[in-house]
Amino acid sequence: MPRRRIRQQRRTASRAERLRAGLLIAAGVIAGAVIVVVDLGADNSVVPEVASWLDPGSSDALTAMAGTLAGTDLDAAHAYAQRAIAHNPLDDRSLVIAALGATSTNQIARADALFAHITTLTRRQPLAETWMFDVAVAHGRYAEAIGHADAALRRRTGADAEVMPALIAVTDGSAVLPAFARELASNPPWRPAFFRAFARSKDGNALALIEAMRRSGDHPGPVEVAAMASQQIAAGNVGGARAVWQKGFGRPLPPLLSPNFESATQLGDFGWSILVKGGAQVVARSEGKGHALEVEPSNTAKRPLRVVQQAMLLDGGRHAIRFEGRSVEGGDTVATMVVRCAGDDLELGRASVPAAQTWSETRFVFGVPAADCPIQKLVIEAVPNLTQGGTPALIDNIRVE
């Protein structure tokens, strides 16, 4: 018995805090209600307080007044909501405020009942769905929990900030994970938003999520795998990023994605990210050898201008980069290739793109520190063209050795 009491106290505190944090969400949902004053011919410009005074029997006017007060005086809002419910027991907006009022006095059982009732009336109240998601998880009703999360997220409201972290936490060994994976397999409209949130989160278990998705008959797409690998990079877990890539794509993470510019796809932190619009573009090689990167000379910058980059996960020690390059019409060197540490931007090595009109190969050696540089950036820069005589440079076939 004591154990049950402790568990109930923890659950009560968590849920009360969640609803208080979600108060602004509820106020935002409810405040959009249209004020209708029955039989008095009033229009929507009548303020809620006046409308509720003119027609105290109008549940719409009472609900509007409750919504106006919800963010500042929950007790007063609760009183108006109770009056509105007396006139219209099916008014989900007032029921939400009544449930919030129950949480303010720690009547969690009553809040449970009210929010459950709301979700049977409508799926348009994300705060009620968020609350019932928590209730369902606490009672082991996992499929029901995911249904509530889905209903909340489909409304595209502030509930996302509450539900997304909860769904990310589900991936970390929770019994809810199989039900969640089945929901993802149905391709809900919030699936891309979930993986974007996952990439920015410090929580979650990407490997467990990938496995659960496969068991449900689904599999993450390339952008989704890259988002999960990028999450590991943000956490500084290079081994985790490689493991996620291997499990998601079925092959090891390459040192560079699209080293010969045959694919312009960027997958999270991997692949070429164009930093300066117009500073670089992928073009067809005139010799019929696929594509190359064309870098425009920098005619305005006083220092090298970073135009493209991508992440690398090289082990500590000695490495080399080999690449082909040339100038479009000959002349000054207008581009350089630089390797930096991703964290502190420490430069590890660089080489200029050849200025000759014919393709030639360049190689430069650099060392990756054994510590404090788990992630590197390969950056291609446009060199300041102070003489205004440079022409675009072409780069192709980059190799990491």
d(CA 384, CA 221): 40
pLDDT of residue 61: 64
Q: Can you tell me the mean pLDDT for 42-54? A: 41
Q: Does domain 273-400 have CATH number 1.10.357.10?
A: no
pLDDT of residue 357: 83
More confident residue, 262 or 47: 262
pTM for this structure?
Answer: 0.67
Q: Which of 72-76, 94-98, 342-346 is predicted most confidently?
A: 342-346
**Where do the CATH 2.60.120.260 domains begin and end in the chain?**
273-400
More confident residue, 356 or 183: 183
Does pLDDT of 191 surpass 80?
yes
Question: For residue 143, what are its two tokens?
Answer: 């499929």
pLDDT of residue 32: 39
Question: For residue 228, what are its two tokens?
Answer: 């999960």
d(CA 270, CA 312): 8
Does pLDDT of 244 surpass 80?
yes
* Sign, Cα dihedral of 26, 28, 32, 36: positive
d(CA 208, CA 174): 10
**Where do the CATH 1.25.40.10 domains begin and end in the chain?**
2-249
pLDDT confidence of 65, banded at 50, 70, 90?
low
pLDDT of residue 115: 81
* 355-395 per-position pLDDT tens digit: 888 889 999 999 999 888 888 999 999 887 655 556 888 89
What amino acid is encoded at 111 in this protein? A
Does pLDDT of 57 surpass 60?
no
d(CA 311, CA 233): 9
- With contact defined as beta carbons under 8 Å apart, do 93 and 30 qualify? yes
Q: Can you tell me the mean pLDDT for 178-191? A: 92
Pairing state of beta strands 347-352 and 305-312?
unpaired
pLDDT confidence of 33, banded at 50, 70, 90?
very low
d(CA 282, CA 367): 29
Burial 58-68 (b: 16+ CB within 10 A, else e): bbbbbbbbbbb
Residue 395 C-beta-side C-alpha neighbours within 13 Å: 31
- CB-based burial label for 9 (10 Å; 0-12, 13-18, 19+): exposed
CATH number of 2-249: 1.25.40.10
- DSSP string for 16-35: HHHHHHTHHHHHHHHTTPPP
Write down the mean pLDDT value for the chain: 76
